Structure 1
Amino acid sequence: MATVEEGPLPYNLWQGESSSSSSSSNPLDAVLFGGISMLIGVSCRTLLRHTTIPYTVVLLIIGIALGSLEFGSIYRLGKLGNGIRIWADVDADLLLAVFLPILIFEGAFSMEVHQIKVLFSLIFILYNLKALVAGCLTKCMAQMLLLAGPGVLISTVLIGAAVKLAFPFDWNWKTSLLLGAILSATDPVAVVALLKDLGASKKLSTIVEGESMMNDGAAIVVYQLFYRMVLGKSSGCSAVLEYLAEGSLGSVMIGLVFGMASLLWLRFIYNDTLTDFSLALTVSYIAYYTAHEEAEASGILTLVALGMVFAMSKDTHRAGGKQSMHEFWDMIAYIANTLIFILSGVIIAQSIFSIGYLDNNTGRSWGYVFLLYIILQVARTIVVFAFYPALCYFGYGLNWKEAIIIIWSGLRGAVGLALSLSIKDASGDPKYLSSETGAMFVFLTGGSVLLTLIINGSTTQLLLSLFGMDALSESEKITVNYAKHQLLRKAEEFSRICSGSNNPFDWITVGGYATCIKDVCEDTVWPPCTTNHGYLEINDMKTMRVCFLKATREAYWSTFNEGRITESSISVLMESIDEAIDLATQGFHDWNYISTRLKFPGYYKFFSTSVCPPRLTRWFVLKKLQDSCHICPAFIHAHRIARQLLLDYTGDNGNAAIVVAESEVEELEARKFLENVKNSMPEIIHQTESRQVTFSMLKCLDKCLSNMEKDGILTEKVVLHVHDLLQNDLEKLLRSPPSVRIPKPGDVLSIHPLLANLSPAIQSDLECSVNSILKTPGCTLYTKGSKLTSVWLIGNGSVRSRRSPFPIHCHVDSTYHRGSVLGLYEALVGKPYLSDMVTDSVALCVKIKLELIISVLARGNGVEELLWKECTIVVSKLLAPDIFKKFSMQEVRSIVDERSVMNTFSSQEVIETSHHSIKFLLSGCLRDQSTKQLIECPAVLPCSILSESIPYRSANGTAESSGSCSYSKYKVVKPARIVRIDISAVYELAMQNFRKKQKLVSQGDNTMSNIELRGLVGCSFFIFQECTCCRSMTSLFHHEKAVKLLGFIIFYAGAKIVCPFYF
């Protein structure tokens, strides 16, 4: 049987130990200090919840009190005191390395990316290079850089000069500037914690937080520079500039590299938030260590860059993952803040009671601290107002009230303390830094931290209240009133329901607890009438647009969380909302931003060159088109939802109608854009619809499985296994969505009407000898006057002719769509290219070499006649664009095939035009008998009906009116080929198109059908989610196909569990 030895009882935590044991403390006592600190933090947070006292200021004061009891009194704190001493004696670099990665990364990750994103758009260079070049200094980034860059240098010089001239310490300029560098750093830890407590505006918080982080990182670089100079290292101008460049730019580049690598890693993680958190936390520490220790750069700037990279990608997290990420970082940041502020107070107390100089000069030393505090405020005031014009000019601007808040929020904190402790630890050599100098650095820095946190931190809320910056705006007050009105309506409805029950209750008692709606006027009617000017929806158009855009944002989030749009798509959509909110006073601008992002940038033309591999070209082009097929339907769907919500909330008033009309105009533009994508590459539409169907089916199965689990039909083991199978399928869909099947050259040739009439042998030769090329918008197929080398068959997309050979009508550009054969006419007549041909959209082109065309012509068998008829389609749109430009290629082909006649004429024959036809001279040369005008091919010979609108057009550039005669006679100079088109066919087709257009306009839908749009966004498949099979097992069995499919999956999973060796 075990025995227990007798021994002394554990002594009280607060009792001092004997002298024999006080010299050596237990390292585990440090855990006690951490636990007591967290307990103090929880208590303070609970007690200060409904007060305006900053949480961090109270923690600092408590830390000073604990340090004073341990270091400045005869009453020691026992084991707690041992823990305090262990923490206070921690190496300064280790202190920074433990806390800063958490606090700096969390602050940067929580910032408003839209206001600082442009500098870091390098990360998304593959998505949009234009965003990188558009401007580096926009939004709040310009203001942050001004204050953190040159502002730090000016502040360092001002503080250093004041210390050198006003303090009797006999320090040299290098030492004084070293202290100035330490004190010029506005501590981000203190600033971020303060602004969170005070609830400052997002713009002001972004500027102050971002400036404090960059300021601190830049100040550390300057601190390291002067520290090297104090130690006697090289201080030449070139060496200084080189060190500053390496320390600042190098730090940012390290953060960007780690950030991009982490984002790449995260792309391979699906639905695993725990791994996301672990990776972010791990990378923040490794990046800080790499920058601070290995590269000797600023670890803080590295963390700022890293945090902003992660912040730019946080929109790509699903709703649960994004919320969990913020909660995770908020939790660990709260723990780190609690510990570091209490520890800062302890270190300040230790510095006060450990300086021997204070024994005889206590009053004078504290006088120096107060003088230094005044110097800090004056220096920051000079810096802010020196850059005030620039701060007002860039980004969102700045008013004088915000400038004062920026001045007053220049707090000093744990970072400056740690730097001064580093000086103290490194001091001891009288030649460079004496021990007294190191101790005075700690004392002065600690005093500055104490005064800025207590004075500035405690009074910032008063300044905000004094300037009215913490009060609700008029529009916000009206919004609050509206919210209360809605709550009142809900409470009255609840009261009516409860009043009809048999259980009596005291409504006065119940209403006494609903104080939030007591001050609402019960006579107010909602929605408001147009004469009620008390509501923001009547007079404040900006607020109404902002509300509309926020509703649109929520619709985007809903679509993204359902998995119906990709991560890159949600990023563009969210950025468009941010941009539109900034310009809400000028109308809606979200589609302008989206269309800019969806258009092909100029550098995409490189992908259409022969240098770029075809596979790479396809990947980039298809990726851009796929984004369009996700973004445009999501945009239309979200705007429709927001319009309905706006009308439900505001009623039918003038301003609401204006906002709705603006939204409908943007929707029309989006539909036209999507229609162009459909025309240029219909395979993309089919691929997107297939993805949406697949996703909807898998989500339906997942929901059905969840309902079966709730009904108790399946065991937990089976459910987990089947759920894993479904998740694997969803991940597979995300990683490898249905591929886009681009037609092969043979497929394009086989469906072309011309080639269908050729012999199988000719078709086989063509299919084996041609290749397809995917061209981006703006690519030139050939130029006017260049040597004929190839004929181009348009498989998909559109091509526009430019620099027409007819100067008078050169402003009319003809557009050629799918099925057009360009360059064929020039090949038949042996001429150079007649005009420039430039792709108007993404175009799939089949390139046929001239030698192959010549070999096909040599085979005879009526091939030449077929080719002449085919080239008539292109020539008609080229020579008479104002007649045929509104007809599609299929319509022009039908006219040429059914209502045209082609004839050949010998020299000296006379040709007479008729009033009912239009003739094109395809080859040869004619002379007008009345004007003696020589007409060379190609040319149009207009009839009398068109004589006043169509002059003679020929390749020689001449153009004259045909007059008003009903008939014109031409004499054949060289053997000619003329095609005659019945003009009545043109009029008939034009009238048919007009009737169709009128019908579509009356239906309010002249672009893509609503069914197609719902298919792209997944709305047409909501029946899978809304069907009763997803609600209960009873109705599930009414859906036989769903049951069979899910039953097969469950059978497969169960069999795999029971008999794994068969699978």
Structure 2
Amino acid sequence: MFVFFTGGIVFLTLILNGSITQFLLRLLGLGKLSATKLRVLKYTRYEMLNKALEAFGDLRDDEELGPADWITVKKYITCLNNLEDEQAHPHDVPDRDDHVHTMHLKVTRVRLLNGVQAAYWGMLEEGRITQSTANILMRSVDEAMDLVSSQPLCDWKGLRSNVQFPSYYRFLQMSRLPRRLVTYFTVERLELGCYISAAFLRAHRIARRQLHDFLGDSEIAKIVIDESTAAGEEAKKFLEDVRITFPQVLRALKTRQVTYAQTDLKKLKRNPPLVKMPRVRELLNTHPLVGALPAALRDPLLSNTKETIKGHGTILYGEGSRPTGIWLVSTGIVKWTSRRFSTRHSLDPILSHGSTLGLYEALTGKPYICDIITESVVHCFFVEADTIEQLRQSDPSIEDFMWQESALVIARIFLPQIFEKMVMREMRVLISERSSTNIYILGEDIELGHNYVGILLEGFLKTKNLHSIMAPAVLLPSNTDLNLFGLQPSA
């Protein structure tokens, strides 16, 4: 009887439930996707197929074995047959419906907040934030999730009470108390706010890029990205106040973050590191441009360098103005804007510490190609153009290095879709180890290999269609899919 009843139940489940459930779901309409979800599904499928084509594209041709039989490949990998399907953006609706628009905003906000939360988990694993800080950050995201349908992104509201900069701290800094004592008390009281502000800005920056990569230049995505950017203004203001009044605090916290991954946590808590602000010469020597120079050339450069601290919103130099020198950014970040070059495809037009600004213009004598505006309090050094010219003429290898250094900023401005996602250190390694500087004479052809990018630093070029190209410019192979760079064929 046990076998009979068990077998009977299994039989009825498979035969009756298995055959009737599908029709029942269709009858009740439970298996239908809404038009919005269907558009999102189609868009996701299209993007996945594009990634598949990109992966197989590198395998299609082989210099040694020749081309593959692509028809046979498609026969076995059937998903590649659907690459010609029309792309359907999830936010492209024929009629403007306020309810649909609100629903899109809600879904997109939730998607960005999910990305923010995932970024917090990653920072916790990397040791950038502590467990208690992560709990506060996660809770703020959960609270913001409940309000996405009625108001813009508001996860910062849940963090505001933990980020305070009392006005009497400025008087504490000007007092005659021992510096070590002042640093100790300020680090203890400001570290939570600094951790929260830095983690908030970093997580939102990561989530904005992920959202932009998925949705592209969508109206809904732009609204949510703008909300995210606006939400970080208070966090930036707090870090600026700390950087102006107690710059040693941020340096101590960053040192503690790095030390966390290498040191026993109990030992670190018993004796947290207190860091002194380095001397001007030490800051300059750590800058990539100065640090790469031989000692004999470094000393004359250091003696002709002017140290300065610029507040938020200060213009270092303007587009079209005469190049008077270069700026070496030691701490802080700057933003570039341009009337000539479009920033439409640039999600974060930011250049961080370690950047060398205005070097290309100083080498070529051309006007500055963009505006450079400080996005935070910036500690930087100014070197006059005459000093750079003397340094350039001292050694051919130094000149080659300076051209490579100048190409970093050019690449970030002209191809933000690729280089904006890389930190300056990674770009330096890429250009120094995997690039070469070439000089071409009049009438010579320039051929770019597959997956190569050329940067025209000096001179003029003509294409096969007799279009003139003037430096500075970025050169792409003729078979490049410009859509990958966010460019139109006319570009």
* Range class of TM-score, shorter chain: 0.3 to 0.5
- Kindly indicate which of the two structures has a greater share of residues assigned to helix: 1
The TM-score with structure 2 as length reference comes to 0.48
Compare CA radii of gyration and give the structure with the larger one. 1
The TM-score with structure 1 as length reference comes to 0.23
